[in-house]
Structure formats: C-alpha cells, structure tokens
Structure 1
Amino acid sequence: MTDSEYHRTVDVIPNFSHVMTPPFRRRLWQLLTLGQCVLGLALVWQWLCASTYRLYLDEQQPPRPSMSASARQRFDVCGDQVQPQILTAEEDHLNFSVSFPWPSQLHVRVVPSGHAEIEIAVVEQNARRTLLRRSLTEATEIAQMLPPTIGVLELSNRGEVRWSDPRVVHDRNNGPWLLGLMALLGLTLWRAGRVRLRVPPVASRARTVLLGSITAAVSAILCLALLEVGLRALSDRLPSWVAVQRRDLGEIRTDPRWQESARYGARLAPRLHTYCEWQHGDIVRMGFLPPDLIHHPAYRFPFVTDADGFRNSATEPSATEVAALGDSFTDAMTLPAELSWPARLGSLLDAKVRNYGTAGFGPGQELLVLKEYVQALRPRRVVVGFFAGNDLYDAESFAASGGGCAVSPIPAQGGKFKDVIARYDEFYVVSLYKGVVAFLSDRDQCHADEGSSQVDYSGEDLSASAASRPGFNRGLFTVPVAGRTLRFAFLPPYLDRLELSREQLQASRGWEVTSRTYKEMERLVRAQGGRLVVAVIPSKAQVYLPLLSASFSPAELQQALCFCLRDSPTSPRLDAMMRNRLALNDLMGDFCAAEGIAFLDLTTVLQTKLEAGYNTYFPDDSHWNSAGHEAAAGAIARFMRERGL
C-alpha cells in the first residue's frame, strides 16, 4: 500500500473520540450495570420458577375405549412426604395432556408386580413417538428426557405395575440469558481495562446510591436466609397456618390438633381454636376411589375444643344432662360442631348435651373418658355410640396394648396436593408469607365462617347429571332413588367384615372386651342414678347393601363388589354379606336386653332416609353427612322421649 492510499484509508475511518465524552461514558457504564442487573435477576427468576408437574389420575384424558379404566390413585406416606401412586391393571394406557415448549424430563419409579413391559410415548398432532420401551421384573427408577411437546404424554403397560410419583420436571432454557450476561460482563471488563474515568461529583453520588442499594439488597437476602434457616429449624413446631402451606407441597407434618397420651393414645389437644378443611373423603384419600368421580365443595369450618380436648365450647361443663361418648361419628370432624348428632340432640331435647367423642377411640378409651371426665358431672343419661364397622377391633387393639401405653398415633393419611410446584414454593419464607395472608383473610372472614351451618354438607356432586338406571364405575355406585340420583362408594375394610357370622363375632376377643367394658359402663352410670343408652352406628355398607341388592342383579353386584375388594385375598361372598349384614347389631341388641341397657339400632332410620332419595353418608367418605347426623339425632331423641329417659 502506497503512502497516498494509506492516508486515504485513514481519512475514511470515522473518529468517535468526540462522541466518547465523559457524560456518554458515564451513561454507558450505567447502561452496562443496569443490563447486568436485569439479566442477573432474570436468571434468578428463571431458576426460582423451575417447576415440577405431578401427573394425577383424575387429570388424565379419558382412556381409549379399547383400554380398561381400572387404574386407581393412591397416596402413600413415605417418611415425611406424600408419594402419589397410580396402580394399573394388566394392560392400561394413561394419557396426560402436556404443554411444554421447552425440553423437560419425566421422573417415575415403576414397580411391577411380576414381569411387565412399559412404554413411554408422546402424541402431538396425531403423530405418536415412542421414547422408551422396556421390560421390567423389579422396581426401576426412570428419568426420561421429553422433547418440547404440546399434546399428550402416554404411559402404557402390559402386566400390572405401580407408577410411583410420576412427575415432569420443567426447567426453562437459561442459555440465552446467561450468554447475554456474560457478554455484558465481558464488555464491562474490556472497557474497564481501556478507559480510566475521572469521577465527577454527580457520578460519585450515583455510585454512593448504587453501593447503598447493593448493601440493602445483600442485607435483605441475609435476613431472608436467616429466617429460612430458623423456620426450617422449627419444623413441626410451626404454626398451623404455616404448616398447612407445607402440606400443599405434599409434606407430612404432625397435626397440631392431635397430641399423644400414655393413657388414651392419640387424642385431640385441649383449647384448640383453629379451622378444619377437607376436599376429599377418606375413601378417596386412601386410594379406593378415583378423585375425579366425585366433586363437592371444599369444606371449611371452625374447629374448637374445650379444656379437656373435646369438641365443646370453652364454657365450663356445668349442669350437663346428657353425655355423648363415641369415636369419629360422635366428634364429627367432617362437619361443623353444631351439625353433629350430640349438638342436634341437645337442640331436639332442649337439654345440655356435652360431646365426649374422639376419632379413633374404641370402647376401652370411652370407659376411661366416662371415669375421668363424665362421672364428675353426674349426667342423667350417657349415650354411647357403638360403631359396628371397627369398634370390636379397636377394643381388642386397645386391650392388647395394655390400655393405651403402646397405642400408635392415628396414622397420617396422604392426599392429593398441588400438581404444579415451583422451586420458590419450597422455601419456608414463601410458606410464611402465604400463611400470613391466609391468616389475615381468615380473621376478616370469621363472621362468614361462623354461619357454616348454612352450607350444604351433604357431599353431593351438584354438577353430576341425573341417572335413569343403576351403574357402577371404578368403585362408585350410581342408583336412581325416589326421583333423585344417589352416588356413593364403600370403604373396603368395613365391607369385607360383613361376611363374619354372629358365632364368629361372639367368639372374638374384641366382643369379649367390648361386652365386659359395656357392663362396667352400665354399673358406673347406674351407681350415680343415671341410665346408659347404647346406639349402634352401622357402617355404610350395612345401610346401603339392601338398596344395591334391589337395584342390581346378583351377578352385577357380585362383580362390583369384586372390584371394590380387589386387594382382598379371597373373592367376596355376597350371600354371606347379606345374611350377616346385621349380625353384630343383633348380637349387641341381645346383650343389652340381657343386661338391662337401653338399646337403639340406627340402621333402620338411616335406611329409611336413604330409600327416600337422600344420602346419609358422604358419597366419598365412610362417615355421616349432615343428613345422617340429623337422622340419628332425631331417632335418639324420639327413643329417649318414648322411654322417659
């Protein structure tokens, strides 16, 4: 290149030295700093928003007609965490709608009952793409990458398997944000090495503000970190309004409403003033009924206990005329206290009735309650609710444990929790914030909650269509009765026990303990001039089986019961169930007649209500709804009036 050519080239290169003035340089530094802050915050936010999507059975698409619909959901408790389980039959397809525009990963533990083949595929725009096909003979952890998919995720199996905690982990692509941040950092370092700025007073003040902001942000982060550590250290001692937020994440926490007692086992804590909230009944929570089959409102109501740990007002138990003893049917934890049968009995008799029922108690604990709490009040009448479903077994278990010392706490029942959990949800400070907001909202709405008796506590699915003929679907019976449609399910353990004959029941250890206990109750109450009343509370199947027998053919009903008791080692015997349906009730009635104890079997009144077209038990739960409690209270009130009790 000649000298003239060189000078011509230099002349055409623009000179930006006049542009890079000190104000422009300061503005450039500010823009670089702002860009780094924005990208840094974006990266942190993307990390916090990484989400886990759990696949629940009730959220899947309807199965193909050629496939069975026998899959069921169960929620197992493993340590301190609920693990959703989907149990499938010999051949099943599970279809879940997904919308992931970025790559994600499916995590699941597959547990075959023997030899099984599984397949994982995605379906998008009618095109099916198989991602994994494998034969299994033992439990296997699977982490399968999923392509960006807006369509259906399909899990298939040949051979019975259990899909344990199936979930999709969706972490957004942070690459572009990270590259942008690195580019800005590189440009900043390059400029810092080439330019030495004199800092004018204005820039000095800006730098002071910037450093102050950074200091404040770091201090806030340190405070939040210390708060997080403190909340994690408290763990089970967290307030209930924080603990409930952790349960939404599938964590199992000690229920603050319960406490351990060497004398009674697990029992309600005294002086509670909190709320009870539930969405699915125990039949769903224990995995015997898919949650998509029954929809009713999420029930929420105040939950209060007295100084002794029973569901009564805080007032002193003076001048009690009737004392009610029993288990979960008496303390009625699925309903507001004013709808329980003891409260309704008090209204019907215009008498002071005090509730001494506790969920999980059997005849053994009820005798202790009579001695420790009831006798001092000298009530004229003591009504004890005998639950035919499990009181014999509770009596035997309590006696075998030595009277309470070895009784285990009420086992935690898992249930469905949030299906989408972001990473920030897992921080305790977030749970604290949500708990405070919910607590303040509860306080503002307490007057509305006190009117909970106006809520429909029937458990009916108001969105369900009417049925013209009986039907059965995966554990749910549908029967048209008296112009209404009833839907209901059974708790298999109570259903299975109906096969026991009177002779088998009378020869059991549970009956021996129960009869001895009731004799002692009668003696103690009589000694104070009172009367003991035994009211038999039937299990749901005892009330509903005659309706089913009249609505289905024997073969259809047998097939439905086989499905309900599919985990039982033997097939159900329908004839034995119908023959022995009231065997325990009759045995208790004969015993009470021989001992001079007032006796009432509530089966007939509940069955009459059912035949009029009204459920007396929650459709998805083994306990009475508000209609059941009202019917029971009315029957007991009439019984006591007619006999001058």
Structure 2
Amino acid sequence: MNTNVRAMNIVRLKSWASRLFSNRLALAVVILFGFGYVFLWLTGSTNSIQLADNLIAMYLVTWGLYGMTSRVSRQEVRSRFVTVTVTLLLCLAALEIPAVLRLVNYQDLFSTPGSPNWWNIPQYVEDPELVWIHTPHYQKKGKYVRGNVAEALCATMVNDVREYDVRYDQHGFRNQTDLTSADIAVVGDSFVESPQTPYDSLMTNVLGNLQHASVANLGISGYGPQQELIVLKRFALPLRPKTIVWVFYEGNDLNDVQRYEDSLHLTAESRPPQSVLSQIWTRSFLNNLLSTFVRLRDGCQSSSAVGDYYALVKDAQGRETRQYFISDLFSTPAKHMEAMSITRTSLSTAHQLSRQHGFRLVVVFAPTEYRVYSDVPSVIEFSDKTKDWRPSNLPSRLRSMVADIDPKIDFIDLTPVFRDEVSRYGQPFLSDDTHWSDAGHALVARTIHDALINGSPAYVVQNVPDQQDDVVVLDQNDSALMVRDADGTIRYWNKGAQELYGFTSSEALGKSSHSLLKTQFPKPLPAIEREMMEKKFWYGELVHRRRDGSKVFVRSRWDLQQNPKDKTITVLEVNSKNNS
C-alpha cells in the first residue's frame, strides 16, 4: 500500500516537473516576478503606489503558479483568471466612480494626510494670492483622538475623545452662515479658526455673545502676516466691520512669513498643474486604502526630541502633570529681522486701511505655552532642556512696532491674563495640543471684550536687551500718560496728562502721583498693588482732582515693567476720562 502511494507521488512529481520545465518561458516569468517581488518587499513600500506594485506583482505571480501547478486545463485557468480579475475590477470601479465624479473624496473619509503642500489636503483648494484656502461650504464631522502634542509623542494624553463638527462659509472660513456684514472681524491662523473647538466655544462666537454683535471668524490654519493682510483686504473689508482684531501668534507667525514666500514659488504659476489622473488617484479608494495600510504598518513615528521639552506642573488636586513646549522649539525663524520687517509692513498697511475705511484696529499677542508657564507658581520644575530657557522680548518689540505705527492702535498682550489663569490652576491650553482649550477661548474673548469696552493702553516700553535701557514713551498720545516709580514718584508726564489735569510737566515731575492728584481708589491701595504685582497690570476706575480742584473720573490702566538688568520696577499709568 505504502509502496503504491510513494510510486504515485513520484509520478505526480515527475509530471509536475515535466510540465513546469516544458515551458521555459513560464519558468522565467515566475523566477523574474519572484525576485522582483522579494526585492520590492525587502526595500519596503514607503507609499501607496509602491504597495500597489507589490500587490499586483503578488497577484500575477500567484495566478502564474496556480496555472503551472493546477491539474485543470490551461484554458480553464485562463477562464478563471479573467473571471476573478474582471470581478475585482468591477468592484473596484464601483468604489472608484464616485471619486472620479468628485462625489466622494476617500482621502477625507480615510483621514489620509495630505502632501506637504496645503492645497493637496482634502479640505483645501489652491488660491493664487493666499496659496491655500478652505473649500467653500466644506463640512466635516469626526473625532479628535490625539492633539498635535500627543501625536508628536505617540501617546494618548486625554481619556475623553473630542468630537468636532466643522462648517465653513462661501469663502472657506469657519462661520455657520454666509455673512454679508459683521460688526467685528477677527483675522489670524489656527488659533482663530480652531477646528478642534466646538463652534459654541469658539472665541469669536463667545465674543459675539459678549458684545451682542456679529463677529466674523476669518482665521485659517497656517496663515502668516502676509496672508492675514490679504484676508483683511479681500474678506474683512467687504463686511464693513467697525472693528478688526488681528491675532498674532508667537509660536509660528514669524516662521509663516518665510513659509508663505516659499509656498508662492510652488503655486500654479510656477509649477506644472496636477494631472487629471493624479488628482483622481489622490481621491481614489485604492490609494487611500493602501495609504492606511502603510500608516498601520509603520505605526506612529514618535519625536523623541519633543518629549524632552516640558515642565512639571501642579494641578488643582496637587497632582503633577507635564506641560510640553512644542511651539517654542520653532518660534524663532532663521530670518528673524526680515520676518519682523514684513510683519511691520503688513500691520502698517492694515492701519492705513483702518484710517481709510474707518474701522478700529486691535492687535492681539497670543503667547506660547512656555512664555505663560515660565513665571507661575504652579510650576514645580522645568526639564533639563528647558530650565535655562528665557522668554524673548517679542511682546515688547511687537508692542513697540504697533505704537510706532500709531500709538492709538489697541494692543493686547494675552500673557498676563493667561498667567493669572494658570496661577489659579486653570488650563487655557489643551492638555494634548498647543491650541487654546474651551476655557482659553472664553478667556481670550473676555479680554478682547474688556479692551473694546474700556480701551487698552497705547504706549510703548522698549525694555529690549542689548538696546537702550530707558523707558521710551511716545508723547503723541491723547490719553493722560505718566511713568512713575513703584512708590508713585512721577518720572514722565505727557501732554495728555497736562491737558487733563492742568499740571505742567515741571509741576508734576518728582511728585507722588497719588498725592498730586488726590487719588480716590475703589479699594485699598495695597490690595491694588498686590493685584498689579501678581498680574503685571491693573485696570479700574479712579477719581482724581485737577489743578483747579475739580474732580475728574478716569478709567485707569497700570502696567508693571521691570528692567531686565537691574530689576527695578516702573509703572506706566494711562488714564482716560470716563464720560459715562
């Protein structure tokens, strides 16, 4: 029995070998495809096209081996090959036709990352001036599993998954309806657009509720000063706003200056347009399915360098958490001075437009996490890589730039209010992302609201290291402005103060401001000074007496300034008459 079985197996093996070697061409094809497939697999499939090549090669090799080893006739093998192949192609065509007709974008459904060019990301289209902008009336729902910090660390840092439902207007901005007018327009980057934030929690929506006014959100992720100026001209001005708020983000706005210049060289005017087949492939089911396989195979690529830059922070329950400083790693561009110059030109042009069209211009400085956490008591310690960091003087330089353009431009530095929030164990930033939390959006909205109602200081402090150390105050200020020491001794007295109070500069200098003006405070002076020391500023209403003895009610803003070298304290006090 065993002898017969062994004999039959030998006969079958000889028969198979005879058939195999009788067709040398088939053998050569099998060997060629085999070596080719092994080579492709060993070298790795870095993208969907390479993976598709591997799969097609494997499919053909499998059918070739089946044809040479199967007992069925070759005609039957060919028939089966054609049937299976046509069936697969028809199924694939059924999935691909909607993509060809632009009814479905599988890149969006699979959440496939776009190429480094913004206009190749599904929800963006190319724009000749702005380079990229959202597709009009774009909508998307989904869940944010990880923010940009957690993604860089390949870690899940929050237990709750944030859901989002973003909708864009006819111009590609994050407004629920197509606006034809707005009382306030806010321009900026991803901090204004904030696609990870529910619409009801957006700073622009909260600001609109506080102001009882319509607010247009004109923020686009990745935009820098040049693009934001274009947005102001093309989209803000037609809305005829009374106020335009320009949010400048410390983390990357200066870098975005150069990135915009580089991107202009890649736009349609200087590169071949993407072919129709290439566009279809980008949207196709097969491309995005295979891209997903590649991402799953490679897994998350953690950036070990990012994990070294953090601070240990104590929360309200006394637990230690890590606050990472990703944005600060890239906040200083290589061509810093050139970027500052372009930013100044953009802001200066915006100011000229404000005078021509009669809107109020407000510039808001949005700090990075490190600037906020660098001086708060809730920080336990900084990591080895960040313990020697020092915040730059960018807020002072930007404030100086704005006031040099026109001291009447409102300037808001969010650093003090963010530090105050963190000192009370608040979280203005998302725990796994560099952007503002819902609480941060509300805080920004309230700060801007207060400035619009009460006004913001219009002075400049140039406490820039390696430059002049003296405090320089612009005298072209309509408000009463004084510079005084911590004990109240007046060191500077501008024309606005002389006109409001009647005291000349020679009469005021060297005197105690509180004694000279017989100040009446809303609460004890020590309490006000403690608040100013904690927040670095104080705002409230005071009652002063003029030289002729008459009372004047003023809105007063005190800003604490400290010389970086000798640590001496100076207070800049701006008073404006309260006519209400």
Name the TM-score, length of structure 2 as normaliser.
0.54
Aligned length: 362
Between 295-304 and 351-360, the greater mean CA deviation after superposition: 295-304
How far is the alpha carbon of 1:399 from its aligned partner?
A: 4.4
How far is the alpha carbon of 1:485 from its aligned partner?
A: 3.7
Cα offsets for 1:498-530 (capped at 9, x unmatched): 7x9xxx99x610000001110110110121111
The secondary structure found in structure 2 opposite 1:483 is coil
For the aligned residues, what is the CA RMSD?
A: 4.4
Which amino acid in structure 1 is aligned with residue 139 of structure 2?
A: H
2:401 aligned to which of 591, 597, 619: 591
Which amino acid in structure 2 is aligned with residue 314 of structure 1?
A: T
1:559 aligned to which of 384, 409, 429: 384
Between 330-339 and 250-259, the greater mean CA deviation after superposition: 250-259
In 2, Cα distance between the equivalents of 1:629 and 1:325? 15
- 2:363 matched to 1:363? no
The secondary structure found in structure 2 opposite 1:309 is coil
Aligned match of 2:3: none
In 1, Cα distance between the equivalents of 2:219 and 2:287? 37
2:315 aligned to which of 481, 493, 497: 481
Which amino acid in structure 1 is aligned with residue 353 of structure 2?
A: L
Which amino acid in structure 1 is aligned with residue 399 of structure 2?
A: G
The secondary structure found in structure 2 opposite 1:275 is strand
Aligned match of 1:255: 121
How far is the alpha carbon of 1:621 from its aligned partner?
A: 1.2
2:245 aligned to which of 374, 383, 386: 383
How far is the alpha carbon of 1:242 from its aligned partner?
A: 4.0
Which amino acid in structure 2 is aligned with residue 511 of structure 1?
A: M
- 2:187 matched to 1:325? yes
Structure 1 segment 597-612 matched on structure 2, within 5 A? 597-612=409-424
In 1, Cα distance between the equivalents of 2:100 and 2:345? 40
How far is the alpha carbon of 1:496 from its aligned partner?
A: 5.7
Which amino acid in structure 2 is aligned with residue 487 of structure 1?
A: T
Structure 1 segment 45-194 matched on structure 2, within 5 A? 79=47
Aligned match of 1:352: 214
Q: 1:236 to 1:617 in 2, by over 3 A?
A: farther
How far is the alpha carbon of 1:490 from its aligned partner?
A: 2.8
In 2, Cα distance between the equivalents of 1:601 and 1:81? 49
Name the TM-score, length of structure 1 as normaliser.
0.49
Which amino acid in structure 1 is aligned with residue 342 of structure 2?
A: V
Q: 1:590 to 1:340 in 2, by over 3 A?
A: same
How far is the alpha carbon of 1:80 from its aligned partner?
A: 5.3
Between 629-638 and 615-624, the greater mean CA deviation after superposition: 615-624
1:519 aligned to which of 326, 348, 372: 348
The runs of 5 or more residues in structure 2 that have no matched partner are 1-44, 52-65, 74-78, 272-283, 290-305, 458-580
In 2, Cα distance between the equivalents of 1:475 and 1:604? 22
Q: 1:256 to 1:550 in 2, by over 3 A?
A: closer
Aligned match of 2:280: none
How far is the alpha carbon of 1:378 from its aligned partner?
A: 1.7
- 2:433 matched to 1:627? no
Cα offsets for 1:400-456 (capped at 9, x unmatched): 6669948999xxxxxxxxxxxxxxxx985997xxxxxxxxxxxxxxxxxxxxxxxxx
Aligned match of 2:198: 336
Q: 1:486 to 1:533 in 2, by over 3 A?
A: farther
Aligned match of 1:197: none
Q: 1:265 to 1:612 in 2, by over 3 A?
A: same
The secondary structure found in structure 1 opposite 2:174 is coil
Aligned match of 2:567: none
In 2, Cα distance between the equivalents of 1:486 and 1:523? 49
Contact residue 306 and residue 314 of structure 1 kept, 8 A: yes
Contact residue 82 and residue 251 of structure 1 kept, 8 A: no
- 2:133 matched to 1:299? no
The secondary structure found in structure 1 opposite 2:195 is coil
Which amino acid in structure 1 is aligned with residue 226 of structure 2?
A: G
In 1, Cα distance between the equivalents of 2:219 and 2:186? 7
1:615 aligned to which of 427, 441, 444: 427
The secondary structure found in structure 2 opposite 1:367 is helix
Aligned match of 1:268: 134
Q: 1:251 to 1:310 in 2, by over 3 A?
A: closer
The secondary structure found in structure 1 opposite 2:375 is helix
Contact residue 271 and residue 306 of structure 1 kept, 8 A: yes
Cα offsets for 1:321-374 (capped at 9, x unmatched): 000000000001111222111111101111110111100111101111111111
Q: 1:537 to 1:237 in 2, by over 3 A?
A: farther
Q: 1:297 to 1:511 in 2, by over 3 A?
A: same
In 2, Cα distance between the equivalents of 1:539 and 1:429? 38
In 2, Cα distance between the equivalents of 1:396 and 1:427? 35
Contact residue 485 and residue 613 of structure 1 kept, 8 A: no
In 2, Cα distance between the equivalents of 1:627 and 1:321? 24
Q: 1:496 to 1:520 in 2, by over 3 A?
A: closer
Q: 1:473 to 1:302 in 2, by over 3 A?
A: closer
Between 221-230 and 329-338, the greater mean CA deviation after superposition: 221-230
Structure 1 segment 522-537 matched on structure 2, within 5 A? 522-537=351-366
Cα offsets for 1:188-233 (capped at 9, x unmatched): 99xxxxxxxxxxxxxxxxxxxxxxxxx9xx9999555313045457
Contact residue 373 and residue 379 of structure 2 kept, 8 A: no
The runs of 5 or more residues in structure 1 that have no matched partner are 1-76, 84-177, 190-214, 410-425, 432-471, 562-573
Cα offsets for 1:557-609 (capped at 9, x unmatched): 35153xxxxxxxxxxxx44x32xx15111111122223231100011111111
2:369 aligned to which of 515, 540, 561: 540
Contact residue 248 and residue 366 of structure 2 kept, 8 A: yes
The secondary structure found in structure 2 opposite 1:559 is coil
Contact residue 488 and residue 620 of structure 1 kept, 8 A: no
Q: 1:223 to 1:314 in 2, by over 3 A?
A: farther
- 2:111 matched to 1:277? no
Contact residue 276 and residue 302 of structure 1 kept, 8 A: yes
Cα offsets for 1:294-324 (capped at 9, x unmatched): 1332222211111111001233x23410000
Q: 1:244 to 1:402 in 2, by over 3 A?
A: closer
Which amino acid in structure 2 is aligned with residue 300 of structure 1?
A: E
How far is the alpha carbon of 1:262 from its aligned partner?
A: 1.8
Aligned match of 1:93: none
In 2, Cα distance between the equivalents of 1:644 and 1:608? 18
Q: 1:496 to 1:364 in 2, by over 3 A?
A: closer
Contact residue 313 and residue 378 of structure 2 kept, 8 A: no
Cα offsets for 1:69-123 (capped at 9, x unmatched): xxxxxxxx9555999xxxxxxxxxxxxxxxxxxxxxxxxxxxxxxxxxxxxxxxx
Higher fraction of strand:
1
The secondary structure found in structure 1 opposite 2:384 is helix
The secondary structure found in structure 2 opposite 1:551 is strand
In 2, Cα distance between the equivalents of 1:336 and 1:492? 23
Q: 1:252 to 1:222 in 2, by over 3 A?
A: farther
1:312 aligned to which of 175, 195, 198: 175
Query: Percentage identity across aligned positions?
Result: 23
Contact residue 99 and residue 285 of structure 2 kept, 8 A: no
In 2, Cα distance between the equivalents of 1:612 and 1:228? 57
